[in-house]
């Protein structure tokens, strides 16, 4: 009995040592890993290229579209009040669909159901612009994703995907973002993989990009098969990352190298 | 029965002929303790080519490791510095660490460079292929063996 108990405890301890979640007090946004130039660019709205998408998003918010000939603003009014805090709790559980959806999918649902317009393609300028505009209304607020109990099994699946080793390099997200975030991969700092600033302007992309684009880049980096945009797996990963980041500050539109 | 055996026998030949898109048969090897004493190709690798391979980004080594590569501005620090590898390990031990480091440490993050099984969700362009060829492994082993200090 006692030996079995000891073994069980040992297993728990080594398991924790190998892939320990980051303690709350050690959590850091990708921003804190950047050099002063990129930080200055993020902090100054007149220098932050992401603000161009936010401005376009604001124009789209007010523009009538689709057979319904309605603008987002016709239903939601002033985004500064109606959209405050919304992005900070996405992905959220969509009861009609029985699964979580991310902010891009929520925007496209409004487009098809309420505006009766064709959904925007993933990474299209319009979808990035509207998402950035909506998410910017939560800038400075704490992330609050994951309250709905219906989300629990999906968060668990996202967590499993985060831990899973995959690809020709046989690495899991946790190997880098939980276990080695204070280190460097070739020249780049390995951050904690926090989702605080999306959509964000990445200098390497010369564009704004979604969290799903970033996840697909890491998955391809370990030479695994990237999940399709909008796939349940990517939404589950986004959901897990956002619940992992609960309480951290929303920074959309952030800048990254 | 006989027909099935015939097809099975032909399969490796077909795979070789089909080329990179199809699974590559790995050369068989024998592990002795914590080493893989025999060259995978039957010959010695070329240390100069081995060094060039290690510093090439696509080989992935210096994503994690640093080493005596002063011309390389970007080296990783997830793994031991490669300087002195040849004093710490025999060629056979180095070969096994490259071929399949997970045999020595099941939870290592070092990829297995000459393995195609037991991997999940490998991307289409890499599926069925080892990260490095047997020749490349031998070149790198030959180079690492020269790192003595």
**Confidence label for B149 from pLDDT (cuts 50, 70 and 90):** confident
Is the ipTM reported for this complex over the cut 0.95? no
Report pLDDT for B99: 98
What phi-psi label fits residue B118: left (phi over 0), alpha (psi between -120 and 50 degrees) or beta?
A: left
Distance separating alpha carbons of residues A216 and A218, to the nearest angstrom: 6
What mean pLDDT comes out for the span A62-75?
A: 98
Q: What is the pLDDT of residues A156-171, one digit of tens each?
A: 999 999 999 999 999 9
Instruction: Using the predicted structure, report yes or no on whether residue B109 has a pLDDT greater than 70.
Output: yes
User: How many Å apart are CA A93 and CA A99, to the nearest integer?
Assistant: 6
| A218 is an active site residue | yes
CB contact under 8 A, B131 and A168: yes
For B123-145, what is the mean pLDDT? 98
State mean pLDDT over B65-69.
97
Chain A: residue whose CA lies nearest to B56 = A186
Answer yes or no: is A75 a known binding residue: yes
Confirm if A211 and A199 have CB atoms less than 8 A apart.
yes
Average pLDDT over residues B18-43: 82
pLDDT of residue B24: 58
Q: What's the mean pLDDT when you consider all of chain A?
A: 93
Q: With contacts defined as CB-CB under 8 Å, which chain B residues touch A18?
A: 107
| Pairwise CA distance, residues B49 & B139, whole Å | 6
Option in A18, A187, A223 nearest B73 (CB):
A187
Report pLDDT digits (tens) over A182-232: 999 998 999 999 999 999 999 999 999 999 999 999 999 999 999 999 999
- Please name the residue ranges forming H helices in chain B: 2-18, 47-55, 61-64, 85-88, 91-100, 134-145
Catalytic residue, from A71, A144, A218, A222: name it: A218
Q: Are strands A99-101 and A184-185 parallel, antiparallel or unpaired?
A: unpaired
Check pLDDT > 50 for residue B4: no
pLDDT of A9 > 90? The answer is no
Closest residue by Cα to residue B121 from A116, A40, A220: A220
Contact B145, B91 (CB under 8 A): yes
Residue B17: the pLDDT is 36
Helix axes A232-244, A152-163, angle to 10 degrees: 90
A168, B60: Cβ pair inside 8 Å?
no
Contact criterion met (CB below 8 Å) for A163 and A19: yes
In this predicted structure, the answer to whether residue A14 has a pLDDT above a threshold of 70 is no
Return the pLDDT at A133.
98
CB contact under 8 A, A171 and B111: yes
* Mean pLDDT of all residues in A133-151: 98
pLDDT of residue B9: 34
A159 assigned to a ligand binding site: no
**A107-129 residue pLDDT tens:** 999 999 999 999 999 999 999 99
Backbone phi, psi, residue A164, to 5°? -65, 130
Confidence of residue B11 (pLDDT cuts 50, 70, 90): very low
Q: If you average pLDDT over residues A5-33, what whole number do you get?
A: 67
Res. A86: pLDDT tops 60: yes
The predicted pLDDT at position B25 comes to 84
Enumerate domains of chain A plus CATH numbers. 27-257 (1.10.760.10)
pLDDT at A229 (0 to 100): 98
What does the alpha-carbon distance between residue B94 and residue B86 come to, in Å, rounded to a whole number? 8
Which runs of consecutive H residues, i.e. helices, occur in B19-117?
47-55, 61-64, 85-88, 91-100
Q: Provide the shortest C-alpha distance from residue B75 to chain A (in Å).
A: 4
Q: Which residues lie below 8 Å from residue B114, measured CB to CB, with a gap of 6+? A: B26, B40, B98, B99, B100, B130, B131, B132, B134, B137
- Give residue A187's pLDDT: 85
What distance lies between CA A191 and its chain's CA centroid?
Answer: 14
pLDDT at residue B21 greater than cutoff 80: no
Is A76 annotated in a binding site? The answer is yes
Tokens of B142: 């030959």
């Amino acid at each position: 009995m006692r030996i079995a108990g000891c073994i069980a405890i040992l297993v728990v301890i080594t398991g924790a040592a190998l892939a320990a979640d980051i303690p709350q007090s050690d959590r850091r946004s990708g921003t804190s890993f950047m050099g002063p130039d990129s930080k200055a660019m993020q902090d100054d709205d007149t220098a932050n290229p992401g603000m161009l998408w936010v401005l376009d998003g604001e124009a789209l918010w007010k523009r009538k579209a689709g057979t319904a000939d309605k603008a987002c603003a016709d239903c939601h009014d002033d985004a500064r009040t109606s959209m405050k805090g919304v992005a900070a709790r996405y992905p959220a559980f969509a009861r009609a669909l029985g699964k979580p959806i991310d902010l891009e999918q929520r925007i496209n649902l409004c487009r098809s159901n309420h505006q009766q317009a064709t959904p925007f393609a993933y990474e299209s300028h319009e979808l990035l612009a509207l998402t950035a505009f909506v998410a910017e209304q939560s800038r400075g607020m704490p992330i609050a994703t994951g309250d709905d109990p219906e989300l629990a099994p999906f968060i668990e699946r996202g967590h499993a995907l985060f831990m899973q080793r995959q690809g020709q390099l046989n690495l899991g997200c946790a190997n880098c973002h939980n276990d080695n975030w204070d280190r460097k991969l070739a020249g780049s700092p390995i951050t904690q993989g926090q989702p605080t600033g999306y959509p964000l302007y990445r200098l390497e992309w010369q564009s704004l990009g979604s969290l799903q684009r970033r996840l697909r880049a890491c998955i391809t980096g370990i030479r695994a098969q990237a999940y399709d945009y909008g796939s349940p797996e990517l939404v589950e990963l986004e959901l897990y990352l956002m619940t992992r980041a609960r309480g951290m500050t929303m920074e959309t539109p952030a800048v990254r190298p | 029965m006989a027909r099935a055996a015939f097809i099975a026998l032909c399969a490796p030949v077909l795979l070789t002929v089909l080329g990179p898109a199809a699974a590559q048969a790995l050369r068989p090897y024998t592990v002795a303790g914590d080493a893989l004493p025999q060259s995978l190709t039957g010959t010695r690798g070329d240390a100069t080519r081995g060094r060039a391979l290690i510093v090439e980004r696509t080989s992935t080594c210096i994503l994690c490791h640093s080493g005596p590569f002063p011309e390389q501005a970007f080296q990783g620090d997830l793994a031991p510095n490669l300087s002195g590898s040849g004093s710490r390990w025999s060629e056979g031990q180095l070969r096994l660490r490259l071929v399949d480091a997970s045999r020595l440490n099941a939870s290592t993050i070092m990829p297995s460079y000459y393995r195609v099984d037991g991997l999940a969700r490998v991307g289409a362009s890499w599926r069925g292929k080892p990260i490095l060829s047997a020749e490349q492994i031998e070149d790198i082993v030959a180079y690492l063996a020269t790192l003595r200090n």
